[in-house]
Amino acid sequence: MKAECVACGAEMSVDQRPMRYQCACGGLLRIVHDFRHVDAERLKRVFDERRGMRHCLHASGVWRYKELIAPELPDREAVTRNEGNTGLYEPDAVREFAGGIRRLHLKAQSENPSGSFKDNGMAAAVSHGRWLGYDSFACTSTGNTSSSLSMYAAVMGMQSIALVPSSEVSPNKVLQTVGYGAQVLAFDGTYDDGIRWLQAQAEEQGYYVCNSVNPLRIEGQKSLIYELAQDLAWQLPDWIVLPGGALSNASALGQGLSDLYTIGFIDKLPRVAVVQAEGASPFHRMAAGASKRLVPEPKPSTRASALNIGNPPSWLKALRMLELTNGVTVAVSDAEIMEAKACIDRSGVGCEPASAAAVAGLRKLVREGVVARDETAACILTGSMLKDTDALREFHLEGKWNAPELRNPPRLIRL
Ligand SMILES: Cc1ncc(COP(=O)(O)O)c(C=O)c1O
Ligand SMILES: N[C@@H](CCOP(=O)(O)O)C(=O)O
């Protein structure tokens, strides 16, 4: 597989150990494909045939698109837990909440096997790592990456190591990671400290790094936009709105949209809005200030713990995505996030706080007139409602955050 540095354009291979995550100049890598001979109409038919499949590699919502993700990877090396194939919903209450735009879809990546969007990328990353001969897989995580990694490591019968901040993460996610069998190493600090340590130490420890600095994670995650496009008969909405933390999904969206457009699956690019939490919004500050250099936030802090990232590694890839799609960024408060979450939960779809940032951000963009009421959008719901049950307790039982009308505490009765 050929990779290219997103900062200086240097080319290199990622076909052998040691795995490379960065160029000598410090830039992250992206996988480069040659799509010149791809027949879009033929592939569309193949993808449609695979869509209804069960119990085989191509039944996966990631490996259905294997030709566009990792054509060189032998099928026998591709690991799957039947990831992808997530639901697409149109709850009217959420559309109204978000400002009453013409049409709003929610893509529930929360329905992935480990409960978050990470599984799409992780399936590709662990497969590549196993192909290269690694048997120890590591990540640093606020809990979703680690849950996903430890699930796949368990499926492969291999070892996983997860560095997890000792505070401000959801216990549900850490317990899920423990349950699947990862060795969890808690540390004082944030995701940013963990990723720095891992990038310096991984090779010496013999670890294959499964964070989104790994270009294969991005390759797997881009299947999200392939699947959404296929769900909608290859007609994407005007806007795709998603939360931004480490900016892996924003980067994957850029890669996936560029593929779809280059190959001719779509003839128009949607605009993309990246929503950050106010307490952890270095990318938004950069974009809003029309700067092209990210200034890290030394002490990120948000109740949407999955977004608690001050130095997102993929900021340059995400910036390129904004340029490609004429995209925008926006920041929302924790109270706005929790209110949006309560509305999404009450619609029957449900999500964790970080995911709700997408809907809170869309609402703000509609209010500000950036998104027009006659436009259409899809919000990416990145993680499941059960990923953070403390958030439900705080909102419904402890009366924290806004929106008393959405509060629903159990009533105590005498039988
Ligand atoms: C549930 C959830 N939503 C959103 C994000 C942010 O996504 P990204 O890091 O790709 O920007 C994360 C973690 O990264 C997450 O776990
Ligand atoms: N929210 C994430 C943090 C970003 O992780 P990465 O895998 O994109 O590097 C998590 O779940 O850990």
Interface predicted TM-score (ipTM): 0.99
Neighbour-count burial for 270-298, b at 16+ CB within 10 Å, e otherwise: bbbbbbbbbbbbbbbebbeeeeeebeebe
pTM of the predicted structure, to 2 decimals: 0.97
The per-residue pLDDT for range 311-354, each reduced to its tens digit, is 999 999 999 999 999 999 999 999 999 999 999 999 999 999 99
- For Cα atoms 167, 304, 350, give the angle at the middle one, nearest 5 degrees: 125
Domain ranges of the chain: 88-113+217-406
Would you identify the CATH topology of the domain 88-113+217-406? Rossmann fold (3.40.50)
What pLDDT band is residue 403 in, cutting at 50, 70 and 90?
A: confident
Instruction: For strands 136-140 and 208-209, give the pairing.
Output: parallel
| 144 Cβ closer than 6 Å to some ligand 2 atom | yes
Instruction: Assess whether the C-beta atom of 192 lies below 6 angstroms from ligand 1.
Output: no
Rounded Cα distance between 147 and 276, Å, is 22
Instruction: Note whether 336 and 279 are within 8 A (CB).
Output: no
Of all protein residues, whose CA lies closest to atom 1 belonging to ligand 2? 306
Going from the C-alpha of 10 to that of each of 7, 16, 25, 269, the distances in angstroms are: 8, 17, 9, 27
Q: Is 90 exceeded by the pLDDT of residue 290?
A: no
Q: What is the pLDDT, as a whole number, of residue 402?
A: 80
Compute the radius of gyration of the chain from its Cα atoms: 20
52 band by pLDDT with thresholds 50, 70 and 90: confident
| Binding-site residues from annotation for pyridoxal 5'-phosphate | 144, 245-249, 382
Using an 8 Å Cβ cutoff, are 120 and 224 in contact?
Answer: yes
Which ligand has the minimum distance to the alpha carbon of residue 109?
1
* β strands within 176-303, DSSP E: 183-187, 208-209, 239-243, 271-277
Instruction: Give, in order, the Cα–Cα distances in Å from 406 to each of 230, 237, 402.
Output: 34, 29, 9
- Among the atoms of ligand 2, which is closest to the Cα of residue 213? 9
Contact at 8 Å (CB) between 338 and 356? Answer: yes
- Using an 8 Å Cβ cutoff, are 280 and 307 in contact? yes
Cβ contact 102:95 at 8 Å: no
Return the ∠ at Cα 339 (arms to 333 and 345), rounded to 5°.
135
- Which residue's CA is the closest to the ligand 1 atom numbered 16? 306
The CA distance from 114 to 105, in Å, is 22
